[in-house]
Amino acid sequence: MPSTRTELRSDPTPFHGVSIYAISRLDSLAKQLTEILSMHLSVQNRAKSRVLLIPLTLCAVFTSACTSFNPAEDPKITAEAQKKKTELLESVSTSWIQRRSREYGEWQSSNSDNENQLKSIIDKAPEQATKKDRSIDANDRVTFFYLSTTEIWDKHFAPKMVAIPSGEFSIGGRDKKADSNEKPLKRIAIKKPFLVSKNPITLGEFAYFVKKTGYKSDSGIKGCLFNSIFWQLGSEHGWAFPGYEQSFDHPVVCINKHDALAYADWLRKVTNKNYRLLTEAEYEWAASGGKDGAYHWGDTYEEGKGNCSVRGTEGVKPVGSYESNSFGLFDMAGGPTTYVQDCFLDNYEALPADGSAVKQGKPAGGLVDKLAETYKPDECLSSVRGGSWWVVGLFQNTYHGCENSLRISKRSFGNINSRQFNRGLRLARDIP
């Protein structure tokens, strides 16, 4: 089926430009409203609280009174934005790469044999693994921790990677905040260890790729979606200028799935290593740190354990600003969300039990974000993982929003062409 173009136009009506993502969140918003209101109302008044859902939900979706919304003009790069991008690309090839070369040299002096050590332990038969190499939890989950915190760093410009062990776990949400798309719980067996980038891919790492290859992301031409429920396409925003200040150590954002795949493909070519996107099952396993809690630190939400807009933050934080999980990974929740390989499914019934990616899912069709420039109606929507720092919904700046967004099992979907100021990139790499 030929590609279809959805044109963005100025339109004073508040409904125009409402993304399908906002509409898809209605069920979740209603659940949040009911929960929060019921906490503050007596039992006999809780029924009345449901009535309040109607005007509040309509306000969230159909009016501009709840949030600022101005339909974007035809997106064009502003002179200031172009200047900022040019300066960024000049700097990444001088100060950033010099710093990374220095850090890489220091790292190699004590870690150069890490991959050989990792492979020698992986090659052991399971029965030969020592107690130090494995962990058995109370739920009879058996995981062989093959140097699970070992770092692998292929090139000075490449991301640091962390070895993630094989193991079995149940994917999906166990707590009352779990959405219907996080169910049913399904047992997954990750049979082979793999590597995951220690942090989200940074602005410096992505900018260096652009500088070396001349790659042109269409976020540098058509802008990037930003704001809250009513997303705007800002021509002045892109991966080099997402709408908030960033250093080279901030996660790159405002990229789409094509950009993510292009970056992974380039790394494969220049390192001769199989860099790729994670599968959805791999992402949840890695995010859990090998634990069964709703969050990587346990079952109870703790403010300050991850970045979230309730704390007044205006963007992603530099990588490593918050504590890592037990596997040594940072910002698996509370950073940017990230595309995974999988097509999006409404639930986990058809998810492969071996942790591989879903190849067919919900077609884009009528569920395409009206702000996405181009799409193929028969092209599947992509699963998106990692609750971002930016909490979407009526209670985006509340404790309750963060409590939901930072859960390990949190998932959503996205058009593969869509670029947002809270969506970035994380990679996996196979171990030979």
- What is the model's pLDDT at position 177? 80
pLDDT surpassing 90 at residue 89: yes
pLDDT band at 150, cuts 50/70/90? Answer: confident
| Burial class of 63 by CB neighbour count within 10 A (0 to 12, 13 to 18, 19+) | middle
Residue-wise pLDDT for 92-137, tens only, equals: 999 999 999 999 999 999 888 888 877 776 665 444 444 444 444 4
**Higher local confidence (pLDDT), 233 or 60:** 233
Residue-wise pLDDT for 341-376, tens only, equals: 999 989 999 999 999 999 887 655 444 444 344 445
- What is the model's pLDDT at position 141? 43
* CATH tag for 4-430 (out of 3.40.50.12780, 3.90.1580.10, 1.10.10.10, 3.40.50.970): 3.90.1580.10
CA 381 centroid distance within chain = 15
- What is the model's pLDDT at position 358? 93
pLDDT band at 273, cuts 50/70/90? Answer: very high
pLDDT surpassing 80 at residue 230: no
Q: What is the mean pLDDT of residues 171-196?
A: 88
- What is the model's pLDDT at position 372? 44
Are 219 and 239 within 8 A, CB to CB?
yes
Average pLDDT score over the chain = 74
pLDDT band at 11, cuts 50/70/90? Answer: very low
- The count of other CB atoms within 10 Å of the CB of residue 283 is 27
Q: What is the mean pLDDT of residues 247-261?
A: 94
- What is the model's pLDDT at position 376? 57
| Residues of the chain above pLDDT 90, percent | 35
- What is the model's pLDDT at position 26? 46
pLDDT surpassing 50 at residue 6: no
Is the CA virtual torsion 340, 346, 352, 355 positive or negative?
Answer: positive
Are 147 and 186 within 8 A, CB to CB?
no
pLDDT surpassing 90 at residue 88: yes
- What is the model's pLDDT at position 54? 44
pLDDT surpassing 60 at residue 250: yes
Tokens of 324: 């890592």
**Higher local confidence (pLDDT), 48 or 374:** 374
pLDDT surpassing 60 at residue 429: yes
Are 1 and 377 within 8 A, CB to CB?
yes
Tokens of 319: 């990588």
Q: What is the mean pLDDT of residues 322-340?
A: 91
Q: What is the mean pLDDT of residues 293-306?
A: 84
